[in-house]
């Protein structure tokens, strides 16, 4: 999500408690939604259902219907680009951006090379949009370049989220406290995939994608609008088949939206 965070219109606490009571497998990423105050708590919570083991590809888990989900990731059909209307996409002013990663304050189990590699992987995936995206590391004690978008670890900046983009301030803040809670509640959960996903999602806001996608698999998606309406799937039977249906890297529809905004001749 992008700052400022929107407040919940209806409580999801009861729903989450029922899910947790019913499904012992529910990972910490769901449990942590109990402490998140904003609407994105509900919208980022994966649907309930039996999970499958995590994968190491551009998706965060294998699915009961892998071919359908894989096709959704790499293919964007006519009419599939739809948003919740919760923001207004706008083209960026430059075709060249630079992200500067600062490792200060990161959880001890995330090494600087590891996080930097995740940042670069998300940036490389988004570069298919036609933009030039560079990633640099900021040594401890040094000031980032003035034109750079700073990626940093800050509970204050992330405002209780896993990560939060502040486009005006040119900062992408990652929340160390939530990643610590994720590790505490479920040490075996692949937190690097959660980090990859939130980096990809928040980066998208800096490319002008301000509205959230209604397509469940898109990295820019929200699972629901906080009013009971769910995101879209090509095959409804795949709902709940994985812990995290959303792709950890931008999908074909994410890239198409970005190209439509920022491509040549716009």
- Mean pLDDT computed over every residue of the chain: 81
3-state secondary structure of 96: strand
Q: List the one residue out of 266, 164, 259 whose CA is nearest residue 207.
A: 259
* Count of CB atoms situated within 10 Å of the CB of 81: 17
Q: Which pLDDT score is estimated for 3?
A: 63
Q: What local confidence, expressed as pLDDT, does residue 239 receive?
A: 78
CA distance 209 to 137: 25
Low-confidence ranges of the chain (pLDDT < 50): 4-42, 47-65
For residue 104, the model assigns a pLDDT of: 96
H/E run at residue 165: strand 163-166
Structure tokens at 218: 């898109």
Residue 251 domain boundaries: 1-266
Residue 214 sits at φ, ψ, to 5 deg, of -95, -5
CA 242, 246, 251, 252 torsion-angle sign: positive
pTM recorded for the entire structure: 0.79
Give 98's strand partners.
134
Give the pLDDT confidence score for residue 62 in this predicted structure: 43
Instruction: Find the CATH number of the domain harbouring 173.
Output: 3.40.390.10
CA 92 to CA 75: how far, in whole Å?
A: 25
Q: Which of 187, 174, 197, 204 lies closest to 61, judged by CA?
A: 197
Q: How many CB atoms are closer than 10 A to CB 34?
A: 13
Looking at residue 65, its pLDDT comes to 43
CA angle 85, 44, 20 (to 5 degrees): 140
Whether omega for the bond prior to residue 4 falls within 30 degrees of 0, making it cis, is yes
> In this predicted structure, what is the pLDDT of residue 19?
29
29, 244 in Cβ contact below 8 A?
yes
Residue 139 CA: distances (Å) to CA of 41, 119, 166:
33, 16, 22
The Cα 144–Cα 161 span in angstroms is 23
Query: Quick one: angle between helices 112-126 and 191-206, nearest 10?
Result: 50
For 138, phi then psi, to 5°, come to -100, 115
For the chain, the domain total comes to 1
pLDDT (tens digit per residue) in 8-17: 222 222 322 2
């Amino acid at each position: 999500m992008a700052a400022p965070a929107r407040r919940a219109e209806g409580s999801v606490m009861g729903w989450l408690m029922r899910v947790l009571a019913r499904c012992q497998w529910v990972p910490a990423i769901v449990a942590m939604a109990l402490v998140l105050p904003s609407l994105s708590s509900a919208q980022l919570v994966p649907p309930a259902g039996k999970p499958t083991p995590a994968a190491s590809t551009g998706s965060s888990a294998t699915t009961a219907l892998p071919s359908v989900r894989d096709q959704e990731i790499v293919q964007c059909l006519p009419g599939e680009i739809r948003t919740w209307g919760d923001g207004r996409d706008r083209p960026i002013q430059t075709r060249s951006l630079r992200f500067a990663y600062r490792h200060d304050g990161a959880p001890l189990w995330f090494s600087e090379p590891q996080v930097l590699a995740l940042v670069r992987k998300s940036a490389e995936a988004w570069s298919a949009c036609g933009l030039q995206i560079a990633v640099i590391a900021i040594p401890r004690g040094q000031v980032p370049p003035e034109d750079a978008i700073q990626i940093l670890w800050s509970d204050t900046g992330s405002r209780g989220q896993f990560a939060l983009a502040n486009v005006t301030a040119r900062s992408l803040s990652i929340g160390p406290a939530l990643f610590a809670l994720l590790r505490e509640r479920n040490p075996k959960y692949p937190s690097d995939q959660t980090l990859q996903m939130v980096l990809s999602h928040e980066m998208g806001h800096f490319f002008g994608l301000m509205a959230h996608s209604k397509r469940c698999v898109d990295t820019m998606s929200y699972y629901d609008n906080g009013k009971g309406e769910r995101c879209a799937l090509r095959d409804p039977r795949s709902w709940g088949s994985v812990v995290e249906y959303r792709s950890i890297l931008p999908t074909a529809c994410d890239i198409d939206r970005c190209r439509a905004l920022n491509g040549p001749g716009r």
